[in-house]
């Protein structure tokens, strides 16, 4: 005896309609239909969306003749689409990565002991081993945290969004919780606020808040608006202080959730993604993923992503 199937979805179900959903229109098979679905895009935009570099960087590669389109040197006005072949310095590029159907953003609570790079020559674990591989495109990290630094990391399938969030002109807040060995004299804290000279130029903390501590360890929260290599550690070292622990707790409009354990990720809802777009000074061009703001998708080890 067959059981009558209810019209309601059982359980949480997928966030997106399946390819067998009768509500979806039938796929067009003609080449014209494919072109209509994925229009030609300028190479600068295509590769920036895929996370290969900013539009300005791609323009410099085009000017230097480093990019080839279908076997010939590409120019700044050239467009590419489905079926075209792009290469950089003779190395093929994944063209479909720039033709993503949606903009997705994850936050990840990075623990100490993981690299922020896509691969590590020493074989150490990376954050890309811990996050879900997107069906199209690839994850691009918004900045990096070094091996011994923990905290908030943002990853997106939109390379242009990542580039804008990292650009110094946006002046986005980076807030860190810092544990320093011993108390630091008030005059040294004033020096860190007014600015010190590092090897790559002057730097300063916009804010320093003493949050207390016990014994030889003292905690501070610091804010700066740029992301140079090991800048937080180098600033403290410039006044003779030693950082024993460093956690990024905020980047732009996003803060590290207190209920997100180390080594876990969470996909942002549309409202949070729009806040990031506003912070980056971008208008939404790609459709946003349908993750709920009230209960965002989350998890731990999903599927190794070694793209």
- If asked whether residues 244 and 258 sit together in one domain, one would say no
In a domain, 46, yes or no: yes
Per the residue annotation, which of 96, 146, 200, 307 is the catalytic one? 146
Each residue's pLDDT tens digit, 236-260: 999 999 999 999 999 999 999 999 9
- If asked whether residues 267 and 291 sit together in one domain, one would say yes
Structure token digits, residue 158: 């939109």
Q: Which residue has the higher pLDDT, 148 or 11?
A: 148
- If asked whether residues 155 and 284 sit together in one domain, one would say yes
- If asked whether residues 62 and 195 sit together in one domain, one would say no
- If asked whether residues 223 and 126 sit together in one domain, one would say no
Cα 58-60-66 angle, rounded to 5 deg: 80
**146 in active site:** yes
- If asked whether residues 258 and 245 sit together in one domain, one would say no
Burial pattern 8-20, b for ≥16 Cβ within 10 A else e, equals eeeeeeeeeeeee
Band of pLDDT at residue 157, cut at 50, 70 and 90: confident
CATH of the domain at 241: 3.30.2350.10
pLDDT (average), residues 200-212: 95
Structure token digits, residue 294: 């009230």
* Integer Cα distance of 207 and 193 in angstroms: 7
Q: DSSP per residue over 229-291, as a string?
A: TTHHHHHHHHTT--EEEEEEEEETTEE--TT--TT-EEEPPHHHHHHHHHHHT----SPBP--
| 3-state secondary structure (DSSP) of residue 104 | coil
Q: Please state at what angle helix 186-194 crosses helix 231-238, rounded to 10 degrees.
A: 130
| 3-state secondary structure (DSSP) of residue 165 | helix
pLDDT, residue 45, reads 84
In a domain, 230, yes or no: yes
In a domain, 8, yes or no: no
Indicate whether 32 pLDDT > 50: no
- If asked whether residues 247 and 189 sit together in one domain, one would say yes
In a domain, 14, yes or no: no
- If asked whether residues 82 and 212 sit together in one domain, one would say no
In a domain, 194, yes or no: yes
Across the chain, mean pLDDT equals: 81
In a domain, 201, yes or no: yes
Indicate whether 179 pLDDT > 80: yes
**Total of domains in the chain:** 3
pLDDT, residue 36, reads 42
CATH of the domain at 41: 3.10.290.10
pLDDT (average), residues 20-31: 43
| 3-state secondary structure (DSSP) of residue 72 | strand
Give backbone dihedrals phi and psi of 208, rounded to 5 degrees, phi first.
Answer: -135, 125
Which uninterrupted H or E stretch holds 218? Answer: strand 217-224
Each residue's pLDDT tens digit, 266-280: 999 989 999 999 999
Indicate whether 187 pLDDT > 90: yes
- If asked whether residues 93 and 224 sit together in one domain, one would say no
pLDDT, residue 298, reads 64
Residue numbers of the domain that contains 286: 105-169+254-299
In a domain, 4, yes or no: no
In a domain, 22, yes or no: no
- If asked whether residues 154 and 181 sit together in one domain, one would say no
Percent above pLDDT 90 for the chain: 54
pLDDT, residue 242, reads 94
Each residue's pLDDT tens digit, 77-120: 999 887 889 999 998 987 654 454 468 899 999 999 999 988 89
Q: Using CB atoms within 10 Å of the CB of residue 254, give its burial: 0 to 12 exposed, 13 to 18 middle, 19+ buried.
A: buried
Band of pLDDT at residue 301, cut at 50, 70 and 90: very low
């Amino acid at each position: 005896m067959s059981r009558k199937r209810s019209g309601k979805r059982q359980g949480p179900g997928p966030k997106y309609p399946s390819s067998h959903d009768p509500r979806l229109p039938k796929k067009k098979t003609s080449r014209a239909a494919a072109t209509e679905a994925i229009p030609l895009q300028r190479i600068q935009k295509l590769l920036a969306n895929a996370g290969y570099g900013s539009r300005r960087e791609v323009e410099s590669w085009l000017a230097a003749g480093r990019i080839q389109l279908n076997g010939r040197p590409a120019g700044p006005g050239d467009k590419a689409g489905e079926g075209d072949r792009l290469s950089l310095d003779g190395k093929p590029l994944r063209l479909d990565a720039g033709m993503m159907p949606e903009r997705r953003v994850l936050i990840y609570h990075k623990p100490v002991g993981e690299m922020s790079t896509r691969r590590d020559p020493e074989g150490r674990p990376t954050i890309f081993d811990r996050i879900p591989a997107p069906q199209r495109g690839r994850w691009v990290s918004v900045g990096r945290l070094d091996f011994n630094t923990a905290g908030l990391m943002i990853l997106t399938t939109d390379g242009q969004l990542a580039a804008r969030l990292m650009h110094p002109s946006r002046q986005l807040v980076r807030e860190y919780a810092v544990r320093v060995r011993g108390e630091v004299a008030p005059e040294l804290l004033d020096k860190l606020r007014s600015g010190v000279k590092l090897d790559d130029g002057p730097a300063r903390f916009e804010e320093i808040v003493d949050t207390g501590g016990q014994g030889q360890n003292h905690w501070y929260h610091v804010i700066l608006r740029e992301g140079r290599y090991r800048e937080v550690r180098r600033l403290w070292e410039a006044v003779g202080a030693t950082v024993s622990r460093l956690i990024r707790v905020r980047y732009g409009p996003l803060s590290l959730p207190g209920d997100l354990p180390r080594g876990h990720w969470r996909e942002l809802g549309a409202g949070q993604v729009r806040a990031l777009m506003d912070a980056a000074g971008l208008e939404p061009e790609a459709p946003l993923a349908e993750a709920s703001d009230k209960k965002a998708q989350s998890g731990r080890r999903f599927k190794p992503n070694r793209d």
